[in-house]
Amino acid sequence: MKIRKILIVDDEQIILSYLEKKFTKLDYSVYLAGDGEEAVKQAFLNNPDIILLDIKLPKLNGIDVCKKLKADERTKNIPILILSARAQASEIKIGIAAGADKYLCKPMSFPDILSEIRAYDNK
């Protein structure tokens, strides 16, 4: 199964808009969330194939979002890729412990992000 629906969570509007434009262009269904609560809401609502999740978020941080989604039956099987500027080993550990499937550090080029998402095709 190919990844078709991507939920992108980031508090930075520029990044959200850029990624929405690029992924839409590549025929992905893109859902956006600017804060943690929205991210959870979107995840339940749209049941995405993969989630690209920032950690530093308003209202509910990425780690808590990840925990919440991984704890819920409906969303626990959705791969979550954390994309964060926090690159410390301890921070990575926390992210993995929260149930994230991959921890990616900013900055990351679009081709790299795309290849990371494509890696989940047929998984």
Partner 1 sequence: MLNKLYKTFKNLGIFPKLLVSYLILSIIPLIIMGYIANKNLRDTGLQAVLRAEEMGSHNLQAAEYIGKTSIADSVVALDRKSTEAIELRTVELAARIADFLYERDKDLRVLASIKPDSRHYLDIYRLSNRDVIDTERPPVTDTNKADSPIMTSSNPENRDAWRHLPPCPARKLSRPLYKEITFIDLQGREKIKIAGGKISGNLLDVSRKENTYCRAENYFTHLKKLHKGEIYVSRVIGEQLKGWLYNTPEGIKISPESSYAGRENPSGKKFAGIIRWATPVYNEKNEKAGYVTLALDHTHIMEFTDHVSPTEERFTILSDGGSGNYAFIWDNEARCISHARDFFICGFNPQTGKAVPGWLSEQTYNEYKKSGLTLEEFVEQLPSFSNFTQVKSASIEQIKSGFIPLDCRVLDNAPQCQGWHEGTEDGGSGSFLILWSGLWKLTTYSAIPYYTGDYGKSKRGFGYVTIGANVDDFHRDANITRANIEKSLREQGRKIISENNKTRELIKENASTNRLLFILIAVMACLAVISISLLLSLTITRPLRQLTHGAVEISRGNYEQSIRVKSQDEIGQLAKSFNEMAKTVSEVDKMKSDFVTTASHELRTPIQAMLLGISGILEGYSGKIDGEVREDLELAKTGIERLMNLISNLLDLSRIEAQKIEFTVSQVSLAEIIDRAIAEVSDLAQKHRHTIVKYVPADIPDIEADHDRMIQVIINLLSNSIKYSPDGGKIIIRAGEKEGKTVLTVIDNGYGIPSWAKEEVFKKFFQADNIMSHKVGGSGLGLTIAKGIVENHGGYIYCESPVPEGEFPELPLGGERKGAIFVIEFPTVHNPRT
Q: Which of 25, 27, 77, 122 binds partner 1 (CB under 8 A)?
A: 25
Site map (CB under 8 A) of partner 1, residues 36-75, x = contact: --------------------x-------------------
- Stretch of 27-35, 44-52, 71-79, 103-111 contacting partner 1, by CB under 8 A: 103-111
If you search the block for the tokens 């626990």, which residue do you land on?
76
Residue from 87, 90, 88, 81 nearest 62 by CA: 81
105 near 87, Cβ under 8 Å? yes
The amino acid at residue 82 is: I
Rg (alpha carbons) of the chain, rounded to whole number: 13
Binding site for partner 1 (CB under 8 A): 12, 14-15, 18-19, 22, 25-26, 56, 85-90, 106-113
